[in-house]
Structure 1
């Protein structure tokens, strides 16, 4: 049953990429919601060391996808009408990514991390502010003030997730943290390309790319969820060799 479910998820992932690539948004949203329900079941049923934070990440992301699916069937909004579905879906996405970020932060020795990686953390904060501002400003002409603020918060949460994943990998240097970092990178690039696809450049190739990256992100997130942290790993051997030579 476990293996069959994994094969089904892979097939659905391929179908989702094709549907999104050919701009079948409603069908793609339905398939992605089904995938997430099955993935959540797979995680809860067969994962040995489950965490509530990863579980709630899956739950809220699934709800967000269901809301996005529902958005395809509501009447087109008239001028100055508030798109409540847009706000609800994005708030659920923000909550889901927040749970994923909290999951990593809770497992870190923050005092030790800040003492050992203070300079990288400062650099990441500066880069995050720059990237979030730059990316969000590309939508300024097509979004209302309230939508722009929500988009800014959304992008900030995404970049925070990536930064925490990078810090976690620098601190632990193990397979689980590496898989989580790769998944986070896929999420960030998927979101940036999706934003470009929706608001800037209507190119079906972008639909293929962002949906492929999203599927890969969840693949890596699931793989890391099956492992335990083994880090922090010791410093690389070549440093000790240099010390011996001197």
Structure 2
């Protein structure tokens, strides 16, 4: 238990360090700290979680590998214009794969027939809003990235939007603490990724965005870890005033 508590304190300190480094645009140092933080979080999850999920474990592993690849890219020579940046494509594909594992993890636990029967209107609204949001966000990089990089960013934004939508549907379906924590984590991931896009490609000199997106990312993983310690209680009836006793 002592090691568990020490590790959690170290993770909090590393999270604060990562946010501080990103706030001052120390990208290389921040990437190193975030990789170490994710490795320790994976160890914490594997060592002290009673009911482990293979998909959540691989989400942590793949996300960590993507972060490491992103960190390595800072130490290589600048990619000449016209050549393929394998680090960029490799890390982003792995990020998408990691998020896809979370999506699959949630969908596997849903009764899709019941979901579409009871929440058909919200699902339809989410699809429409999702298409709109992805189109708007992806349009911000059209004049900055190459054609293939834009395709990748569009796919990346789609995966993030699907994660957020699935998290919301999961909460409407289950209505429990675990699904609520997962939804909050997904919301922070969505805003972190959106702000990060602006930080890297639009407002390059605004370090405030570096602070915000890194803070949101740390908070997102905090909620993801907290939900991983709970078990789904299954679909619960929605709150109803008539059930209260006087």
Superposition TM-score tier, normalisation by shorter sequence? over 0.9
Cα distance in structure 2, aligned partners of 1:187 and 1:79: 31
Equivalent residue number for residue 223 of structure 2:
220
Conserved 8 A contact 2:175-2:238: no
1:63 pairs with 2:65? yes
Q: What is the aligned partner in structure 1 of residue 191 from structure 2?
A: 189
Query: How much has 1:79 moved relative to structure 2?
Result: 1.8
CA distance in 2, matches of 1:43, 1:78: 40
The 5-angstrom pairing of residues 144-163 of structure 1 reads 144-163=146-165
Secondary structure in 1 matching 2:66: helix
How many residues align? The count is 241
Mapped partners of 1:168, 1:102: distance in 2 = 12
Equivalence for 1:244? none
In 2, the alpha carbon distance for the partners of 1:240 and 1:23 equals 53
> What residue is the counterpart of 1:106 in the other structure?
108
TM-score of the pair, normalised by structure 1 = 0.96
* Runs of at least 4 residues off by over 6 Å: none
CA distance in 2, matches of 1:234, 1:82: 52
Structure 2 unaligned spans of 5+: none
Q: Which residue of 1 aligns with 2:31?
A: 29
Deviation at 1:237? Answer: 2.0
* Aligned twin of 2:124: 122
State the Cα distance separating 1:239 from its structure 2 match. 5.5
Q: Distance in 2 between matches of 1:52 and 1:239?
A: 41
The aligned counterpart of 1:208 is 211
> How far does residue 240 in structure 1 lie from its aligned partner after superposition?
5.8
Q: Secondary structure at the match of 2:7?
A: helix
Over 3 Å counting, the alpha-carbon distance change for 1:5 and 1:81 in structure 2 is same
1:38 equivalenced with 2:8 (yes/no): no
In 2, the alpha carbon distance for the partners of 1:69 and 1:31 equals 10
Structure 1: runs of 5 or more not aligned: 242-246
Alignment partner of 2:178: what SS?
A: helix
Instruction: Tell me the residue number matched to 1:139.
Output: 141
Q: Deviation at 1:72? A: 0.2
CA–CA distance in structure 2, aligned partners of residues 226 and 98 of structure 1: 20
The counterpart of 1:95, out of the listed 75, 94, 97, is: 97
- The range that moved more, 90-99 or 109-118, is 109-118
Scaled by the length of structure 2, the TM-score of the pair is: 0.96
